[in-house]
A and B are shown apart, each in its own frame.
Chain A
Amino acid sequence: MKGAASPVARYAAPVSDWGKVRLHVVTGKGGTGKSTVASALALALATKGKHVLLCEVEGRQGIARMFDVDPLPYQERRLTTGLPDADGGRGIVHALHVDAESALLEYLSMYYRLGRAGRALDKFGVIEFATTIAPGVRDVLLTGKVYEAVQRNARNKGAIEYDAVVLDAPPTGRITQFLNVSNELAGLAKVGPIKSQSDTMMTLFRSPRTAVHLVTVLEEMPVQETADGIADLRSVQLPVGGIVVNQVRPQDLSAADLAAARSGELDRAALEDDLRAGGIEVVPDLVDGLLSEAADHAERRALEDSQRTLVAKMDVPSYELPRIAGGIDIGGLYELAGLLRAQGMA
């Protein structure tokens, strides 16, 4: 653990732990906030003069909702500017919503100039077949487009060369299957251009230019799933990036105070005095409430601490983000981006 960032160091950019990485894949168990983390990471990576692409592949239009813009088309769009650095310099974040049908048509026209045949394919339902029913093809098309954005193709004239691509990826349970494209196609397409292209994609995904980051919260199931995910990724030589521990509770109470809160031994009289000093009218109900909230919090902190120990044992760099009680808005995303940058993730 790198600890919470001090407010002073907030927007300074220490050397990034992932300077060589061009493709950041962000996964995590459902409900842990992987889309939020992917967005914050893109903002953090977009330093002065840099172009960063934020991609989503699950058809949920989560990026559009998070940044409060119109639904994204299958087209790279300028989304927003990055988090400013100490001198106020900032880069640009672009967004792309990848869907399999458009990816297939683009692929066909890029490589085969399939004018008549392309239309015929559509007419005969091949496009629909390939993107909904044919096993594995859907994932290959989605990852193929992401690959193309990282490794710009001479055929795609005038396209922006990105310094980094951040992929809001499928959840931990599916991520290895999703990225392991050559395996998905194995046995189906043994030869031919698709086969060699999926092999080229695997070379990038397995290289140090890719990092698969896992988002978790400090609870048993998500932490266990993170450990399983890391083992799965490693078993097929996919590069594990960092663990982003999300929604961490405040940590300003000392261990002694937490212990006292759990056993109901916090000094009630001292608390009442302090509350009065803070200008609050002290009634027994309020003090009871605060003490019971403190006990709940202490129990949660104990759970978090035990899970944090497990995360530390995974021997992967980890970063922590606080829970934002009021919910995530655009300001909140920049705040999280600042914390990621201060901890060296970007």
Chain B
Amino acid sequence: MARSSTQRPTRVGPTTTTQSGPLDIDALLDDPTTGIIVCCGSGGVGKTTTSAALALRAAERGRKVVVLTIDPARRLAQSMGIEALDNTPRPVTGVDGTGTLDAMMLDMKRTFDEVVMAQASPEKAQQILANPFYIALSSSFAGTQEYMAMEKLGQLHRESQAAGTYDLIVVDTPPSRSALDFLDAPERLSSFLDGRFIRLMMAPARGPAKLMSAGFSLIVNAMTKILGAQFLKDLQTFVTALDTVFGGFRQRAQQTYSLLQADGTAFLVVAAPEPDAMREAEYFVERLSEDGMPLAGLVVNRASPSPSGALSAEEATTAAERLRTQDATSVAASLLRLHADRVRMVEREGLLRQRFSTAHPQVSTAVVPALAGDVHDLDGLRRVGELLAGGGA
């Protein structure tokens, strides 16, 4: 039975009492043994921008980098001077220094089609590509993106090992409904293929009808009643046809999984200083350590900038109220209110981070202050890279 990643059996407490310091991004990027950086985290925390900024910074520090993104947002492509990203790595121009940067976006359907065509005979491939189950699975099934991200990462790695094209791959993971779907991809695939249901579906096609037990005909009858006979027929064709293809695919997914566990890989968990995003980040950290994945650290994006001066939120609020009673439009009162808000935000965010580091003291953290505007060009990405590396203020 596949483990549902939303139902974790237990949590994992602190593994040490020593607090590790801030995350040294430049050391990570400069280390020639770092071959893969995986950015994971929940949706809306700036994961894609972080990946692109890391890739650019690594390239400008001399690495040969490719960034694999999942986000179809054209804005990001444009910020790297590419009109639209696709399934092939495209060079980014305007990168300073001796390194190089290529960018690509995962096209899950095309990647899936390529796997099918590489694995099956042309005739069988056509049969699979035309099957309605395959079409639905390859274009809209919620888990396919994760499988295909793994597949593409494996491909890129094998190619660059062979041809020396890249020495660093930065991967932006899909904003999964359940945060760790991509880690579960191989396991879910195996359980899908080894499941009793699939074996039953394939049994009639394989020959002896002895498996057509009472239980099975009961199921077939029930399903035919609910779904219609055509549904079952399509499903059966699909499962039988995919049998050979999936075998090779599963093997490669497992290879990619081992690749992720290896020393050359570094996971960065990306979060925003909000309770939900930090909770997700905790799940990531715990799950990664459980699976023995090399965790490099936590990136907290969008942190509120610290206020200067020692005026507390309470003092500022009291003074603002006093001023408001004298002059309802007082500018000073408005500024004091802004100050009070900022102090409260910073306190709340600080508390969240502190709780996190108490529970997970081994995780080093980089805090990136919120930018007032959005990123539009390489300069914007460069700026984010500087902030990631601690060159903020």
Contact = CB atoms under 8 A, between A and B. Distances in A.
Given A123-B215, A128-B2, A266-B331, A191 B323 contact: no
A136 interface: yes
A121 B331 contact: no
B227 A126 contact: no
A316 interface: no
Given A138-B142, A221-B374, A327-B348, A290 B339 contact: yes
Given A219-B374, A271-B335, A278-B322, A135 B141 contact: yes
Contacts of A254: 329
B339 A126 contact: no
A274 B329 CA distance: 12
Nearest to A327: B348
Given A128-B2, A289-B309, A293-B307, A190 B230 contact: yes
Nearest to B198: A129
26 contacts: A29-B44, A32-B44, A35-B276, A120-B219, A124-B200, A124-B215, A129-B192, A133-B141, A133-B192, A135-B137, A171-B175, A188-B133, A188-B231, A190-B231, A191-B230, A192-B228, A192-B231, A250-B341, A270-B332, A274-B323, A277-B322, A277-B326, A278-B332, A278-B333, A290-B339, A296-B372
A49 interface: no
Contacts of B334: 250, 252-253, 257
A82 interface: no
**A-B interface, 9 closest residue pairs, ranked by CB to CB distance from nearest:** A31-B44, A30-B43, A30-B44, A192-B228, A274-B332, A289-B308, A135-B136, A278-B319, A325-B341
A220 B371 CA distance: 12
Contact of B197 (A126, A138, A189): A126
A209 interface: no
A250 B323 CA distance: 17
A125 B215 contact: no
Nearest to A177: B140
A303 B373 contact: yes
Nearest to B230: A190
**Residue among A124, A219, A291, A296 with max Cβ neighbours from chain B (10 Å):** A124
A195 B6 CA distance: 30
Q: Tell me if A's interface is mostly helix, strand, loop or mixed.
A: helix
Interface residues of B, number: 82
B247 interface: no
A292 interface: yes
A335 to B, nearest CB: 15
Contacts of A331: none
Nearest to B175: A30
Contacts of A116: 218
Interface string A139-179: 00000000000000000000000000000001100100100
A136 B215 contact: no
Given A117-B222, A187-B135, A279 B338 contact: no
B122 interface: no
Contacts of B221: 117
A184 B136 contact: yes
Interface string A273-288: 0110111100101101
A327 B6 CA distance: 25
Nearest to A62: B276
A88 B105 CA distance: 55
Interface string B294-335: 000000000001011111000110111011001001111111
Contacts of A112: 222, 225-226
Q: Tell me if B's interface is mostly helix, strand, loop or mixed.
A: helix
B6 A59 contact: yes
B197 A286 contact: no
B234 interface: yes
Contacts of A305: none
A224 interface: yes
A128 B1 contact: yes
B29 interface: no
Q: How large is the interface on A (under 10, 10 to 19, 20 to 34, 35 or more residues)?
A: 35 or more
Interface string A239-273: 00000000000101110010000000010001100
Contacts of B136: 135-136, 184, 187-188
Contacts of A271: 331-332, 335
Contacts of A187: 132, 135-136
B212 interface: no
Contacts of A195: 228
A117 B231 CA distance: 18
A299 interface: yes
Interface in B169-214: 175, 177-178, 188, 192, 195-198, 200
B63 interface: no
B228 A221 contact: no
Interface of B: 1-2, 6, 42-45, 73, 75, 132-133, 135-137, 140-143, 175, 177-178, 188, 192, 195-198, 200, 215-216, 218-219, 221-223, 225-228, 230-231, 234-235, 272, 274-277, 305, 307-311, 315-316, 318-320, 322-323, 326, 329-342, 344-345, 348, 372-374
B330 A274 contact: yes
A77 interface: no
A267 to B, nearest CB: 8
A7 interface: no
Given A253-B334, A296-B372, A114 B277 contact: no
Contacts of B345: 325
B304 to A, nearest CB: 9
A280 B308 CA distance: 15
A107 to B, nearest CB: 9
B43 A285 contact: no
B323 A278 contact: yes
Contacts of A117: 218-219, 221-222
Contacts of B225: 112, 192-193
A138 to B, nearest CB: 7
Contact of A250 (B43, B141, B337, B348): B337
Nearest to B134: A135
